Structure 1
């Protein structure tokens, strides 16, 4: 009789421990948008087809070893990353908004070609973010023998569910790829060939995985305002223009309907020193078009006045993009221009560090 009571108590304790463990497990929402990571080969046709993520635990049994509870939300129709645009960014942001208080972290599976754009756009749209939003993808499909998809997915889930004293370690939009965790709005894709496809040239790595999974807590972002809200405003009235030696301004789309010109210039901010250039830039500014100057160099920053051929930007009141990436500059401009949720002028907000995207003095 005594042994029976002891056995019942042991069983009750095990049930209690299991319930506590389940409560402690962090809940992560995996959002599958499309891309190579979600593909597998159809061996009958030899072509790639979307993978059914409802069967992901059968495909990657290692997921069962992670101390997180995984839920899956897929786009109705997977989108190639080259088709990603404002509508899809807004959809992802809305999904996170609807599920924000039901999950501890979010993992977005995305094609690699435009992942930096999506990460940058989300960083501006998700205000007061204090939970991890991690994006990852792969260079090879999940079903390939040599795929990088499994490691990227598994470690991304680790970072998306990483908490310390019930406080999320990552509280920003980040990209995890090939052993590196990077701030999303500081990244660029620099290789279509190597597994190590992303760089963050003007900001340190947030974390790195090896034998141990490390985090550099000194460089992590913390929200200035923890009141989470989503601002879906994005404008298409942004033009990106890269100058080149011998460029003729007659081919510039002068009559196009845009409000912001992201002008990618040489080095630390130089452009052709001729009357046609000055005349064109002054005409644009007289129309009320904002001109943001960024560099063609991967690292470093814009410095007006360093060379004589940059003085025109001071004269016309151009916006100094400093060390912001092209991807981040474009999406930041899309978010800021004509956005009724900001009460300060565009140029003042663009040069303000909103979510770690730009270095300021």
Structure 2
């Protein structure tokens, strides 16, 4: 069975080239010049039963420059080609890849096709690049019909023979080929000599019409608590209504210093309708508000329990919820799993 796969190149290490200012992104045309196998179509002849569409997000970007406006452009590009393709691949820089994967997962509701983000730790021009295998594996997931594989109808990250749920992944290494991990959720698939898909964890499409919610609020802050943290600057932002949301990365399972300034901050947030999404600094595990007395400050209706959500997913979810929904609905949406981004506990 034939498949139609859309590949969008956005920039990143995958296509980086040397310049006087260091590594800078190349264009897709430049990448092809360095890859005779692709240029002469012999690489894609291996996938002769797949019809490919290539596009470039101009201008290509270093992923450190990624922002909500570019997320929307990526989503629009996928949306415009959604009905005519079976799967999608987004080639992206690794630094913010997990943020983009999380953002896209929230933007698309009722997704029924795979959106696979991938990239590389070494540029495609490097003789030991990991880019080729990452792209090849992504093609198998996006072109699932051709290979008689199970459809994975969600936003995912394909890297170093692993397929991860996009909003569960974090960048765990700057130099290992296994650059991403999923600390609190099993991999969606393993792409070794045999491709093994964890079908038991995949969402079941309900056949509803695809919806896109594209707006992200940028009136949020990401706060990591540390010993001696001075709440005054954060209190000022809340007092003057300069922000609408805080991702609060607490100690351990939700603990804060025993200091009245934290209690005052939470009370002011409630007064000014500034939502706190409480998470843990630990990569593994979850927060449990009330388990320790040091977390009692967070027993407040303005605080959403982030459970085991990752830092990239917490931030993008908070931005997305504030950007698209009224205040009365936000706490409920932040506290439950919308796209499989948090685990369900008894």
TM-score normalised by the chain length of structure 1: 0.87
Q: Is the 8 A contact 2:3 2:146 kept in 1?
A: no
Q: Deviations over 1:239-266 (max 9, x none)?
A: 1111100111223352361111110000
> What secondary structure, in the 3-state scheme, does the structure 2 residue paired with 1:205 have?
coil
Q: Is the 8 A contact 1:189 1:197 kept in 2?
A: yes
Give the corresponding residue for 1:82: 64
Q: Deviations over 1:163-189 (max 9, x none)?
A: 389896110000000110000000000
1:68-79 aligned at under 5 Å gives the runs 68-79=50-61
Whether 2:329 is the aligned partner of 1:345: answer yes
Match of 1:336 among 309, 312, 321: 321
Cα distance, 1:220 vs. partner? 1.4
Q: Is the 8 A contact 2:98 2:166 kept in 1?
A: yes
Q: Is the 8 A contact 1:333 1:350 kept in 2?
A: yes
Give the corresponding residue for 1:131: 113
Give the corresponding residue for 1:216: 198
1:289-300 aligned at under 5 Å gives the runs 289-300=274-285
Give the corresponding residue for 1:3: none
Q: Is the 8 A contact 1:234 1:336 kept in 2?
A: yes
Give the corresponding residue for 1:65: 46
Give the corresponding residue for 2:14: 37
1:199-278 aligned at under 5 Å gives the runs 199-224=181-206, 226-252=208-234, 253-254=236-237, 255=240, 257-278=242-263
- Aligned counterparts of 1:195 and 1:60: Cα–Cα separation in 2: 26
Give the corresponding residue for 2:84: 102
Give me the CA root mean square deviation: 2.3
Higher gyration radius (CA): 1
Q: Deviations over 1:188-214 (max 9, x none)?
A: 001101111101011100111111121
Deviates more, 1:252-261 or 1:207-216: 252-261
TM-score normalised by the chain length of structure 2: 0.91
- Aligned counterparts of 1:333 and 1:47: Cα–Cα separation in 2: 32
> What secondary structure, in the 3-state scheme, does the structure 2 residue paired with 1:102 have?
coil
Gaps of 5+ in 1: 1-23
Q: 1:166 to 1:46 in 2, by over 3 A?
A: closer
- Aligned counterparts of 2:107 and 2:71: Cα–Cα separation in 1: 9
Q: How many residues align?
A: 336
Cα distance, 1:287 vs. partner? 1.1
Cα distance, 1:47 vs. partner? 6.0
Q: Is the 8 A contact 1:35 1:81 kept in 2?
A: yes
Match of 2:264 among 279, 284, 290: 279
Deviates more, 1:129-138 or 1:325-334: 325-334
